[in-house]
Amino acid sequence: MTEDLVQVSCTNPNCDQLIWITKKQKRQFFLDYFLRYGRVEFPYCCKACQEEHMKLLSQSSQFEPQAMKDRGTGLVRS
């Protein structure tokens, strides 16, 4: 049984890559995790994009690095 796949863009604003994920994963990223845990998860195409984006976010005084962790969702590909 194959699940329906959808494309989402990498969260890094400097990256134009698209990631194929299931509709269930998309719902988890953008709705379920927030409703259940009060946090938002971001999909990245690779670990380098995630680290670059965290570096960009860390320039803000509002950034809380302890709140930004790799949760091992399986969508961060190295």
Top pLDDT among 4 and 60 is at: 4
Mean pLDDT computed over 61-70: 60
**Looking at the 3D structure of the chain, how many domains does it have?**
1
The answer to whether residue 61 sits within a structural domain is yes
Least confident of 35-39, 46-50, 58-62, 65-69: 65-69
What is the per-residue pLDDT for 7? 94
Task: Determine, yes or no, domain membership for 43.
Answer: yes
Residue 74 lies in a domain: no
Asked whether residue 75 is domain-assigned, the answer is no
Q: Domain range for residue 63?
A: 5-67
Q: Which pLDDT tens digit goes with each residue over 13-56?
A: 999 999 999 999 999 888 998 899 887 788 999 999 988 998 88
- Note whether residue 78 is domain-resident: no
Whether residue 22 is contained in a domain is answered as yes
Q: Does some domain include residue 34?
A: yes
**Which residue carries 């949760």 as its tokens?**
71
- pLDDT value, residue 77: 36
The distance between the two most distant Cα atoms of the chain, rounded to a whole number of Å, is: 47
